Amino acid sequence: MYSKTTLILTSLMLMLMLGVTTANAQSSTDAAITQQELQVATEVVKTMRNMTIIVNLEFTPEENKKFWPLYEEYRQKVRSVRERKLALVEAYADRYRSGTVDDEFADAAIRDSIQIQLDTAKIRQKFWKKFRRILPATKAARFYQIENKMDAEVDYALARGVPLVETN
């Protein structure tokens, strides 16, 4: 089990790493996150999620046995939607760098972004019932709070590197 101090220090390291990466991407239109950097960041976030859950949810042996397989299934579903989000951000970045973000692209991108949010909410709603079958409501709620906070941190780090659309 990890101490809260270890968790906090690791969180700070993650935020600094993501902050440096996005700050570099913002300061130069030629800078881009490489696949290797993305893979490392993804693994760090996955590890952070697991550590945060371990530290903040004291599972009974029975809960622990049932939680992790369900959690992996849940994360896989969420990950597939988040990959669509990342692809959308990459498409926007490409268009932004080339100066080709027009009304048609902007409209389609926002519609896609809203659909991604809806799809994520549907997954969370579906899995809430499954998590509630294996966890008490308070523990399941705490888990969802942790997930929401971690997603917000990742989304913030990603958003920091995305410039606003130029208007005419």
pTM across the whole model: 0.75
Model pLDDT, residue 123: 98
Q: Mind listing the pLDDT tens digit for each residue in 85-121? A: 989 998 998 899 899 999 999 999 999 999 999 999 9
3-state secondary structure string, the chain?
CCCHHHHHHHHHHHHHHHHHHHHHHHHCCCCCCCHHHHHHHHHHHHHHHHHHHHHHCCCCHHHHHHHHHHHHHHHHHHHHHHHHHHHHHHHHHHHHHHCCCCHHHHHHHHHHHHHHHHHHHHHHHHHHHHHHHHCCHHHHHHHHHHHHHHHHHHHHHHHHCCCCCCCC
Closest CA to 95 of 29, 26, 27, 35: 29
Q: Mind listing the pLDDT tens digit for each residue in 19-47? A: 544 444 444 444 455 667 767 777 888 88
Q: Mind listing the pLDDT tens digit for each residue in 123-134? A: 999 999 999 999
